[in-house]
Amino acid sequence: MANNTADHPPGNSVAEGGHDGDFGISMEELKALMELRSAEAVGRIQECHGDVQAICRQLKTSPIEGLSGNPTDLEKRHAAFGKNFIPPKKPKTFLQLVWEALQDVTLIILEIAAIISLGLSFYHPPGGNAEACGQAAGGVEDEGEAQAGWIEGAAILFSVIIVVLVTAFNDWSKEKQFRGLQSRIEQEQKFTVIRKGQVIQIPVAEIVVGDIAQIKYGDLLPADGILIQGNDLKLDESSLTGESDQVRKSLDKDPMLLSGTHVMEGSGRMVVSAVGLNSQTGIIFTLLGSGEHDDEKKVKKAKTQDGIALEIQPLKSDEATESEEKEEVKQVKKVNVTKKEKSVLQGKLTRLAVQIGKAGLFMSALTVIILILYFVIDTFAVKGLSWTAECTPIYIQYFVKFFIIGVTVLVVAVPEGLPLAVTISLAYSVKKMMKDNNLVRHLDACETMGNATAICSDKTGTLTMNRMTVVQAYVGDKHHKKVPEPDDINPGTLDTLINSISVNSAYTTKILSPEKEGGLPRHVGNKTECALLGLVLDLKRDYQPIRDEIPEEKMYKVYTFNSSRKSMSTVLQNADGGFRMYSKGASEIVLRKCSRILDAQGQPRVFKPKDRDEMVKQVIEPMACDGLRTICVAYRDFPTEAGEPNWDNENDILNELTCIAVVGIEDPVRPEVPAAIAKCQRAGITVRMVTGDNINTARAIATKCGILLPGEDFTCLEGKEFNQQIRNDKGEVEQDRLDKVWPKLRVLARSSPTDKHTLVKGIIDSTVGETRQVVAVTGDGTNDGPALKKADVGFAMGIAGTDVAKEASDIILTDDNFTSIVKAVMWGRNVYDSISKFLQFQLTVNVVAVIVAFTGACITQDSPLKAVQMLWVNLIMDTLASLALATEPPTESLLLRKPYGRDKPLISRTMMKNILGHAVFQLIIIFTLLFAGENFFDIDSGRNAPLHSPPSEHYTIVFNVFVMMQLFNEINARKIHGERNVFEGVYKNPIFCSVVLGTFALQIIIVQFGGKPFSCAPLTVDQWLWCVFVGMGELLWGQLISAIPTHHLKFLKEAGHGITKEEIHKEELTEDTDEIDHAEMELRRGQILWFRGLNRIQTQIKVVNAFRSSIYEVESPHSRSSIHNFMAHPEFVPQSEEEARISTIEEAGEDSERIESLP
């Protein structure tokens, strides 16, 4: 039979819970069956079972009624066939995270230095004459102090432990947050099954073998199954087989449906045959070692064409295999959806981190070299001493001290708080965005959204309410401006119209009674079809009896709606052997295929092209100008005499139609949308509407929304015209042509998914205009997948969106509302600003600390700020400041400035002015105190103290003033655009207030009671007040700096740029090879491999890399608990990002496992 329906033996009742647990078919048999494809599978089913019905009987289920849902029955099924759940990988324990934090190279260097320092402090050479060894730093130390030499080493170790615990705790809480978020996403995934004859939606994890599942266009299959009945069903199995062509499924050719594949067209029902680890997806999981500790084995996944053979072989890092890999990548590239590049912020941060790291390494090496040279020249040349055996330990102790100072400079130079600030800011925003109806699936999407310069939005459901109603109709030669009364229509025409609408729409579409008394009826399923069914009810008729009389099984052939057809048709066989086909679709498309139309008497009369043009002018255009979507309903009879037509020849079948009616469907604009679009325009974001509707409808809605403003020179194009303008004679898209079209384009109507993808790609790749564009796209249909993937940020609709769209997206709008996108922009800009605030604060500290440590070390042979003090400064500056500055709530004022775009630097001129301005102030104060402080406070000088001398008040004051200035500068750092009032809204951020006060309290404790470990001497109240007073000078100085106009300071350089135009062209040339960020390219060069090993920057790149991955990817490939989430993830694509990352880092001779571990 043409429509792939299995014949139902009578008496197929609902499966009861009372049967014993023995099913007529075992899990192994089903597993073996699911491994087969097409004709082979059909053969095996016939040979071993007879038909699909027999399999349903063996599974004790009914193809029509489904399972009973009886708990004991479900339990038995769980026991026999397993649950639809893939167990997640165990989270890392706190100790594992501690161990990982300890792997940090800078910390290891500090630990080694501290241990050497400890060892030497306990080693006293026998009878060594200290004087003979030349006290390079002068002064005499007393016995008791020599005994206390161990304290510095112990204190460094202690601070290392603190840093490690803080890092580990952060990682642990992040992982916990992500798991919570992931389980929330999973609970939201439901699938339609039939139980007790009722169509219900159940969570994916509750599906059992034997369930009858309804599948339709846009579904992502959650389990394996065998087709029972299908209409024009096509699946995309590329995620499993690597075949990019859509596979047609039918009972007689290929009834096997696999989990993780996407339904691209049609609808049907299947009996679930394998779930969880036994499904084809689950088997791959098992191959990948889902439960095991498989992190260490890097597996290379290669796809083969037949079925799902996955070769798994170790990744060789030899040069030899590299070329083979490249070859493979090229072949597979065509199949995959292009993977996202780094987010805008990540790219900028990575480059900035590399620059800072280089500078820090250079300074610390210089410090150590100068200290050692000075000591050697002073001791052996100036004083003329010779190196003797008994002096060796003393000299070594000096060298260790110099080494510790050098490492400390490095520790302070590298802003390791940066990844922490980014993470805290993103995690905080993601949590808060949940309340604003944004479910963020990929962390970095949140900050990218702040840079968005363009939004390409769908019309239906996003800008409009997606509650469609028929408000006008043209039927029986008459245009009714409101829904006609049943008596106004010829009874014959009315019957044909009612039958056509009832039968030729998905049976999953229904209108249910309202939830609340006096509410609106609930629309379930396709909204356009709901409008048509609503028309049936308005005409005082009911569609359900007609559907009961003609169940889906009786349909002879169904041409389901898809984006190229833009229509849907259903064929029924008449009693006399002839056929009748009902069609509906976009009016201009269906009318073109009509050769007759029903007149006022219900008789078909000839409908010529000129009649059609007349109708378009008189009926369709006026409807469209009112913002209505027009749908034409038609039918065609195939007489018995002509025999059965060739149903596969679609062009002949969908022709010679008779038009019954044309209806105008209204979808009102959401009341809050015009204001939201005005906000976007004020914020410098261009909103474009991309829709499948006709151009007049689109233009009317765009004007209502405020996308098109009267008197402005913007264009509206139809898909066809758009393609003519952007393609050359060979039909290829040319960027130059596109660049002429997109800047003025505001509405793209009658567009196909390819047009949407072309437009998005064209805008992203374009280099015209001052800044490069960052594009956000909204989509709900399966066909929006490619555009959502290509966009910098893809928004999927949480309510109306298909699974495929959700899988391709970065953020899910849980309320399908455009205003939520504006909220996302606000949060994104806030993240960007938070990170800039942190950088402004952090780099001021870094510049000052490095210069002080360096000059101090060179002039007085000892850093005024000791290693332990530096680590404390590092802790406040990094961990605590990132907490304080990264949790500022967003304000509406963020929407008053233009977006930053792709190539605007992270550190603007204003910020550079603030950083250098405050650094100058702090350096003047600190050097004044360092070289003249003893006179001012009337205390002993702390310069040139011997090796283990007690802490001096002088150096304690220097340290205290330094910290006070940072505390007050933290308040200055709250504003980065040169605003005067730095206290504005400070009370709204309790975290900021508590961090500043907490740091102050800790500083008092350290100075007063820190003693030897912190190299602090207690200060008097008088001295404390002076320290605070000098610190407050920062606030006044900040006002002074903001008074200097930035535009006069042309000499100030900006830092942390995005990618420049020249690099884009280079990038385009290398697009086929692996995409590696430029900063990482730099890291690959030999000279930096050494620096990389030494520098804390590796952590940043890892964190930054971890952001690239989605929430799911964060926890390594094996932790996804739902099959549903499996196939759409890049790790299962050869040469995925993960692998690209592994190879980069392996070349740097480093453990790549940590990438996966850092959320």
Which residue has 């374009």 as its token pair?
Answer: 766
Q: Would residue 731 be called left, alpha or beta, if left means φ above 0 and alpha means ψ between -120 and 50 degrees?
A: left
Cα Rg, the chain, nearest whole Å: 36
Tell me the two tokens of residue 22.
Answer: 């023995």
Interacting residues of 978 by C-beta distance below 8 A, sequence separation 6+:
910, 1042, 1046
Residues with Cβ < 8 Å from 794, sequence gap 6 or more? 445, 776, 777, 778, 779, 787, 788, 808, 809, 810, 811
Count each helix (H run) and each strand (E run) in the chain, helices first: 43, 28
Separation CA 632–CA 615 (nearest Å):
12
- Classify 279 as helix, strand or coil: coil
- Both tokens of 11, joined, read 């008496």
The bridge status of strand 567-573 relative to strand 555-559 is antiparallel
Query: What is the distance between the alpha carbons of residues 465 and 664, in angstroms, rounded to a whole number?
Result: 16
Cα pseudo-dihedral 385, 390, 394, 396, rounded to 10: 90
At residue 86's C-alpha, the angle toward residues 82 and 90, to 5°, is: 130
| Inter-CA distances, 380 with 375, 386, 395, 401, Å | 8, 6, 11, 18
Cα–Cα dist 595/609, whole Å: 8
Q: Is residue 458 annotated as part of the catalytic site, yes or no? A: yes
Nearest CA to 955 among 1016, 1004, 1012? Answer: 1016
H-run or E-run covering 273: strand 262-274
What six digits make up the tokens of 5? 């329906």
The closest of 360, 466, 377, 355 to 412, measured between CA atoms, is 360
Is 269 strand, coil or helix? Answer: strand
Helix (H) or strand (E) holding 762: helix 753-765
Q: Are 827 and 438 in contact (CB under 8 A)?
A: yes
**CA pair distance 1050, 1046, nearest whole angstrom:** 8
- β-pairing, 793-797 with 775-779? parallel
Token digits for 850?
């490095």
β-strands 224-236, 212-216: how paired? unpaired
Q: Which helix (H) or strand (E) holds 747?
A: strand 745-749
Residue listed under structure tokens 């007073």: 1029
In angstroms, the first-to-last Cα distance of the chain is 53
Contact 970, 1034 (CB under 8 A): no
In a 3-state reduction of DSSP, which class is residue 230? strand
**Considering 232, 458, 862, 878, which one is annotated as catalytic?**
458
User: Contact, 500 vs 660, CB < 8 A?
Assistant: yes
Burial class (CB in 10 A: 0-12, 13-18, 19+), 414: buried
In 10 A of CB 497, how many CB atoms?
27
Q: Which amino acid is at 22?
A: D
The β-bridge relationship of strands 454-457 and 686-690 is parallel
Distances (CA, A) of 289 to 175, 311, 910, 1114, 1119: 21, 14, 52, 18, 11
Amino acid at the residue 353: A
CA 713-714-717 angle, to 5 degrees, is 140
| CA-wise closest residue to 685 among 784, 748, 777, 767 | 777
Catalytic residue numbers?
458
